[in-house]
């Protein structure tokens, strides 16, 4: 006779976190595409000899920086999708920085401020789902 292990429910992914992860992932993908286009544009300008501060190494370096930022954002999206605690902390830190930047700019009453505040409070409310 075999004994069965007690049923353990896996943590469910809240719908808001899933939507946020997908949107952050799309944003990260677009940033990656932008970085690749910056690298290609800088290389093309240098190849064709167009005088520009963006041509050559400067443009490629900026393209690589944008590409790395896009990869970090895409990693954040994957962390949110898999309900990782580090992704929650990183997202909360981002929202804190965003709220502070709105406050320093004097935009307390703006759509962006309220949207960031709602997402911040929502992520705090669903933090028990993260591991």
DSSP state for residue 108 in the 8-state scheme? S
Domain residue limits, the chain: 13-83, 85-126
Q: Which of 7, 1, 19, 40 is nearest to 119 (CA)?
A: 19
Q: How is residue 80 written in tokens?
A: 């949110």
What predicted TM-score, i.e. pTM, was given to this entire model?
0.81
Distance CA 33, CA 28 (A): 9
Residue-wise pLDDT tens digits, 44-72: 988 998 888 888 888 999 999 999 999 99
CB 101 within 8 A of CB 113: no
Distance CA 30, CA 56 (A): 23
Residue-wise pLDDT tens digits, 23-37: 999 999 999 999 999
């Amino acid at each position: 006779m075999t004994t069965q292990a007690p049923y353990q429910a896996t943590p469910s992914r809240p719908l808001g976190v899933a939507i946020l992860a997908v949107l952050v992932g799309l944003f990260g993908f677009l940033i990656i595409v932008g970085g690749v286009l910056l690298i290609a544009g800088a290389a093309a300008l240098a190849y064709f000899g167009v005088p520009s501060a963006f041509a050559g190494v400067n443009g490629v370096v900026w393209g690589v920086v944008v590409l790395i930022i896009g990869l970090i954002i895409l990693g954040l999206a994957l962390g949110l999708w898999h309900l990782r605690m580090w992704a929650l902390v990183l997202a909360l830190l981002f929202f804190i920085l965003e709220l502070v930047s709105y406050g320093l700019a004097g935009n307390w009453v703006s759509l962006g401020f309220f949207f960031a505040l709602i997402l911040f409070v929502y992520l705090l409310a669903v933090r028990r789902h993260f591991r």
